[in-house]
Chain A
Amino acid sequence: MEISLTEYKRCDVVTVNGRVDSNTAPRLEEALTSIVDAGRFKIVIDMTNTNFVSSKGWWTLIETQKKCKRYRRGEVVLVNVLPEIRSSLDMVGMGSYFQIFNDLTAAVASF
């Protein structure tokens, strides 16, 4: 899994390429924690090239969403989630916790 971070004026974009599983999720958690610890709570996760997310990966995103939504200070949104991944997310009822965009520009503009 490769992560890249881009800071914009109103949000941060985290691009996640590859697999998010128990092996790689800690690195994603570290990246998201660094953003939240810096006091930034509006985060776009670009999943255009994310090909797998296990429940460990989703928990990392959920924990970050909890922190961002607290006090209504921000949120985590997702972009370009593969249909199969979206389906598994909905299966565990977690789809409702994230806004999902089909376009990165629209996701960034939503903030």
Chain B
Amino acid sequence: MKTSSFPGRYDSLARVSEFVVEAAKDAGLSSEEVYSVELAVDEACCNIIDHAYGGEGIGELKCSVIVDEGKLTVILSDRGRSFDPKTIPDPKLNVPIEKLKPHGVGLYLMRKLMDEIKYEAIPHRGNVLTMVKRKRKDAA
């Protein structure tokens, strides 16, 4: 397992991406799967900054990666506010563009892009988000 900590600011996102993309490639994921991981992790980090911490420069993002053959596990932890994912509805999509709203899109993307997601709120400590992506057996 490799772990790195990043300041909870948007200018950390590119470095977080590099960190998880390298691990995703080491796990043998396809380019589409690597992109899925990169995007899901970016969305998760933004949610941590925006919602767990309530803004930039307040706390740290800790990111761990576990590389197995054909499988990548990413663990993001923070010391911010917790929330109940069940209270965030899926966004309304395929509606006229004027009715489109951004709420919930990040979480929705994470759920669609990753094979497994587990969120744990740890009282008085923060949050741990574990996401897994597996290589598709029929993929090149």
Contact-size category for A: 20 to 34
| A85 touches B (CB below 8 Å) | yes
Residue pair B10, A22 in contact (C-beta under 8 Å): yes
With A62-B100, A88-B113, A91-B112 in contact, is A55–B11 under 8 Å at CB?
A: no
Q: Which of A8-16, A41-49, A93-101 contacts B (4 or more CB under 8 A)?
A: A93-101
Within 8 Å CB of A91, what residues of B?
A: 109, 112-113
How distant is the Cα of A59 from the Cα of B106 in the complex, in angstroms? 11
- Which of B's residues lie within 8 Å of A, judged by CB? 10-11, 13-14, 17, 31-32, 35-36, 38-39, 42-43, 46, 49, 91, 93-94, 97-98, 100, 102, 105-106, 108-109, 112-113
- Which of A's residues lie within 8 Å of B, judged by CB? 19, 21-23, 52, 54-56, 59, 62, 65-66, 69, 82-85, 87-88, 91-94, 96-97
